[in-house]
Structure 1
Amino acid sequence: MLRRTLLAMVLGVALPGGAFARCEDYVPQAKPQNTFAQDVGREFDRIIEDGWIEFAVYENYAPWSYEEKGKAVGVDIEIGRLVAKALGVEAKFRLVAAGENLEADLLNYVWKGAAVGGRVSDVMLHVPYDSALVCRIEQVSFTGKYARESIAIAYRASDYEEKAPTPPFFRFDAVAVENDAISDFYLTSLIGPVDKIHRYRSTAAAMDGLADGDTKAAMGPRAELEAGLVRHPDAGLKVHSLPLVGFARGSWTIGVGVNFQHKDLAYAVDEAIEKALADGEIARVFEAHGLTFTPPER
């Protein structure tokens, strides 16, 4: 699942042995010999000529991208429409399944296409920006940074009237997490495999469990927790972010991925997103969904 593979790569957990400088531990692969360059995807001029642009977005990933009544909806969908409007073309969306890891997703949907019947989309949304990725995946332009996300804790306010809960509380208080996601891994590493960690198929389901009173708290990406607050407005729930001991990073930047062959498209998309940030359009998208907007460092 995306929440497991993507966040585990970007956030990481502090491990012994020290940190590498940017790209220090990366060894470039040997360049292919006696092969011809292949054009993959559509050039920017072709997109303008055709009058539409296709965005790859993750399926079943509320509040970011999901299907409702046969249509793609969510924060990433609306951001894609802002980009398309700035380019003067129609936005089309391809809901895709998350693979084993982010590299596989970028290969399948951005720079090469799946081995059987695969094709790439023009732009992939909700791609985490990380300097290590820039080193390892040379076939993708990582650009268009449009928000920051963080791990947070949701809780029932009546259970924590004096102080919002932190991870050590969950040695004694039941907490909901997505099974095998980064929050599950983190809590298990921090406090051990205690029976107070209740595992659900998704962060959305974990928030439903919290709202139903099965647990006192839930832990996961802030936007997914806040989407649970929107679904359960009368449950008396709150969300807070906090520094997490042992995390290399508790927050990360979200952007887009574009095939490295189409730099002009990457520049145009980044410019459209920069303008939407400056005009407050992206902030308004988050506000309309009841989510906290944290602008990215650009």
Structure 2
Amino acid sequence: MRRRAVLAGLAGTVAMPRLALARCEGLPVGQRVQNADRDPVGLDLDEVVERGWIEFAAYDRLPPYSWEEDGEAKGIDIGIGRIVAEALGVEPRFRFVASGENLEADLRFNVWQGLPMGAGENVVANMMLHVPYDTEFACRVEQAVFTGQAYRERVAIAYREEAYPDTAPTPAFFRFDMVAVQNDTISDFYLASFPGGQINANIRRYPTMAEAMAALRAGEVNAAMGPRAQLEWGAGEGVKVHAPPLPGLAIVDWTVGLALHMSHRDLGYAADDAIAAALADGRIAALFEEHGLTFEAPER
């Protein structure tokens, strides 16, 4: 899945100190979308509860976050959706969706407008899972509410122990060694922008992170770079994962949560309360432990 534009756009930039401002202060108002429906879309909290089920949009074939196996929804984000549904007293249902051009497109198709005419069922989900949170992006996209921050993800490096027996690799190592990345992701952009293009010749790009990790396990490359959970999920025998400092990368880690239509903040508040409770009693940390992954609490 292409990493979201909200992250990738800053991949090659250096983080600069900023003055403390109130949220959304000093940011230009987002351009109004033409032909956007002015009427509320979807259902509010009372309607969801009365109906008896809630639908989540989940990214298809994105382990360990969300995927479908033998008709059963699985993954970290699926578990989070079930936690929200249980708190609301309703049945969870999951609609698996493909990743679009960027996060704004995904939110438009799945949260606040629906698919373009003629492209299938033009109905939005009640909530979307696996949405990275960024304050500036949230201020710019007025049609969606971002809530339910459940965990932090970060860029990391997986490597073959036999290739690096003494020192875990950092990006500078890839001037000489091949490294796998998923195409058009924050890791791809970061390594490609390494000073002087020193790494470009050694970057091997794959359609998915799972394929990049398969290449690492097969010994086709010595390392892979991407989101830590995906690296840990794909790591086999003789493969380790670490998260070294990444100089010049503005976004090294990010919070992952939910998004829903701006008309239904009551539903968003209820979902956020459910996730806050699950963070407090350890249920979300247990989801990561169940999948053999490192859990990092979000900043809320």
Tell me the residue number matched to 1:137: 141
1:266-298: per-residue Cα shift (whole Å, max 9, x none)? 000000000000010000001110110000011
Tell me the residue number matched to 1:239: 241
Report the CA distance between 1:173 and its aligned residue.
1.1
1:91-137: per-residue Cα shift (whole Å, max 9, x none)? 00000111111111111111111222421111111111110112101
Report the CA distance between 1:194 and its aligned residue.
3.3
How many residue pairs align between the two structures?
292
Aligned with residue 270 of structure 2, among 259, 265, 268: 268
Alignment of 1:154-173 (within 5 A): 154-173=158-177
Aligned with residue 232 of structure 2, among 206, 216, 226: 226
Q: Quick one: which amino acid aligns to residue 194 of structure 2?
A: L
C-alpha contact (below 8 Å) 2:213/2:234 kept by paired residues: yes
In 1, distance between residues paired with 2:49 and 2:42?
14
DSSP 3-state at the match of 1:2: coil
TM-score with structure 1 setting the length: 0.91
Confirm whether residue 13 of structure 1 aligns to residue 5 of structure 2: no
TM-score with structure 2 setting the length: 0.91
In 1, distance between residues paired with 2:225 and 2:38?
46
Gaps of 5+ in 2: none
Confirm whether residue 197 of structure 1 aligns to residue 198 of structure 2: no
Gaps of 5+ in 1: none
RMSD (Å), alpha carbons: 2.3
In 2, distance between residues paired with 1:36 and 1:108?
13
Report the CA distance between 1:19 and its aligned residue.
6.5
Tell me the residue number matched to 2:111: 110
In 1, distance between residues paired with 2:5 and 2:33?
28
Seen in structure 2, the aligned counterparts of structure 1 residues 208 and 60 have a Cα distance that, compared at 3 Å, is same
DSSP 3-state at the match of 1:273: helix
In 2, distance between residues paired with 1:200 and 1:247?
21
Report the CA distance between 1:2 and its aligned residue.
3.3
In 1, distance between residues paired with 2:274 and 2:226?
30
Alignment of 1:1-298 (within 5 A): 1-3=1-3, 5=5, 7-9=7-9, 12-14=11-13, 23=24, 24-29=26-31, 37-116=38-117, 117-190=121-194, 192=197, 194-229=200-235, 232=236, 234=237, 236-298=238-300
Question: % of aligned pairs identical?
Answer: 53
In 1, distance between residues paired with 2:216 and 2:33?
51
C-alpha contact (below 8 Å) 1:4/1:180 kept by paired residues: no
Report the CA distance between 1:28 and its aligned residue.
4.3
